[in-house]
Amino acid sequence: MALPQGGPWPPSPHGVALQQMALWSAWWIGDPEGLSSVYGAVGGGATSDFFANRQGGIIPTLAKFFWGRPSATGQRKTRLHVPLAADIATASADLLFSEPPQFIVEGNANAEARADEIMNVGTLHSELLEAAEACSALGGGWLRLVWDQEIADHVMLDTVPADSAIGEWRWGHLSAVTFFTETRNDKTVTRHLERHEPGRILHGLYSGDDKTLGHPMALADHPSTAPYADLVDEEGAIPTGVEGLTAAYAANMRPQRRWRKIQSLSELGRSDFDSVEPLMDALDETYTSWMRDIRLAKARLVVPEFMLQDLGKGQGAAWDEDQEIYSALNMQPNASGDTIKAQQFAIRVAEHKDTSVQLVNDILRSAGYSQSTLDADSEGALTATEIVSREKTSSRTRAKKTRYWSQALDPLLTTWLELDAVVFKTRAQGTVTVQWPDSSQPDQEALSRTVNALNQAGAVSTDTKVRMVHTDWAEEEIQAEVERVQAETGAAVPDLGPFA
């Protein structure tokens, strides 16, 4: 399919998804000004420009939120945001990629070495960790293959947030995706579209506005697209030389309940914040109320007017708290207005704390995480076995997410190796699959007791004991350790040579 020649932007019905992702993005970023802007609380409740220029119908509900209410006139802004959404996104990324996955290669002799050279590197692991955080917040993340022979001698993996691309699916399979970048200059919006199809990548440059794509421009007319001008054919395409799609979509979680009846959007993932926005909004309101109690509960003194020091004409009066002696003129004995009164309101700590704890628990449960995943101090003196038990909810969520990531990574990594062979003539061909590490480490104390009990019962070999203790060791390391243990314990059988 060729690139579009114009029309509305974003194409229907993707504007609805971009609207919702903007809300999730605001929670993820956690800037109070950004939340107020997106929810329409700026300017006395006026709707933000972003939503005024997009399709959809979620604006009327935003004013019902705490962040959607205008601030009282004449009062300073005191709304407080609790960055729980950012903590959830970080925890999701940590569960998936804090321990880098392994890439298993089946192919010719060059495939494994080449895959290890370009995939098992820190830059890729860091890229996936960052992508997983955005994936948790926005409901999914895009991966694409890029190459630049002036930058690197191999094909690279680039990650793109979900709100910067429009995907197309057929029967649940990604058939094409269009990445877009926007540059704004007053009311003019310049867009670069990069469309990935099987076998080719198309580039197009357009000049339009917030609501329309506008008219096509020459790639050479903008610095960001000028390098592609001499590479594309008459249709604006660059052949990849491979049959597979050079992009993939990793869903955070499915099904996408919100758009299950919209065919073009039903394959998008579900954000960890989906449906818990009202609870996060209520948590911010609770913390704001709590801080308001603290602010209002500051000790204040009510003093008679004669105790105030005149600062001069038009400058008012002030109370000197260090003054020790006051004039008794014009004082009436026992007059109620002549005494100093202390005023200090109570702080409702328990009520606010209980409400906050309940809201946090509800948010984490709905998002699919155990409380101990985000609260490192909650375990106390628990054993590793008890900690693993408390992490069951997060472990189930992680297991689901690894399946969605594998669906995206496995075919794309295979295409990556194939594309790298075409572009850089490596002759490395093979199939790549992702192997995920265990989400939890075994309790070493419990493991040692188990191994010791099996050893005393004579029910385990040295090889099995080494494998139980060192689950992450390679076969050569295990065999070498077995030989060392047998040599130290005298269990090794000497080689008798011809006398055997």
Does 387 have pLDDT greater than 60?
Answer: no
Find out whether 452 and 460 touch, Cβ atoms under 8 Å.
no
How much is the pLDDT for 275? 92
Encode pLDDT of 145-193 as tens digits. Answer: 999 999 999 999 999 999 999 999 999 999 999 999 999 988 899 999 9
Does 500 have pLDDT greater than 90?
Answer: no
Q: How far, CA to CA in Å, does 93 sit from each of 33, 254, 403, 416? A: 26, 17, 14, 23
Please report where in the chains the tokens 């830059």 appear, as a residue. 123
How much is the pLDDT for 261? 93
> For residue 234, what are the contacts with CB-CB under 8 A and spacing of at least 6?
none
Higher pLDDT among residues 313 and 444, named by residue: 313
How much is the pLDDT for 491? 66
Does 443 have pLDDT greater than 70?
Answer: no
Distance CA 259, CA 489 (A): 65
Higher pLDDT among residues 407 and 304, named by residue: 407
How much is the pLDDT for 319? 62
How much is the pLDDT for 49? 45
Q: Could you give the angle at the alpha carbon of 379 between the alpha carbons of 373 and 383, nearest 5°?
A: 115
Q: Where is average pLDDT lowest: 34-38, 238-242, 313-317, 479-483?
A: 313-317
Distance CA 21, CA 56 (A): 12
How much is the pLDDT for 476? 79
- Identify the CA nearest to 321 among candidates 293, 295, 296, 342: 342
How much is the pLDDT for 37? 87
pLDDT tier for residue 457 given thresholds of 50, 70 and 90: confident
Distance CA 276, CA 84 (A): 11
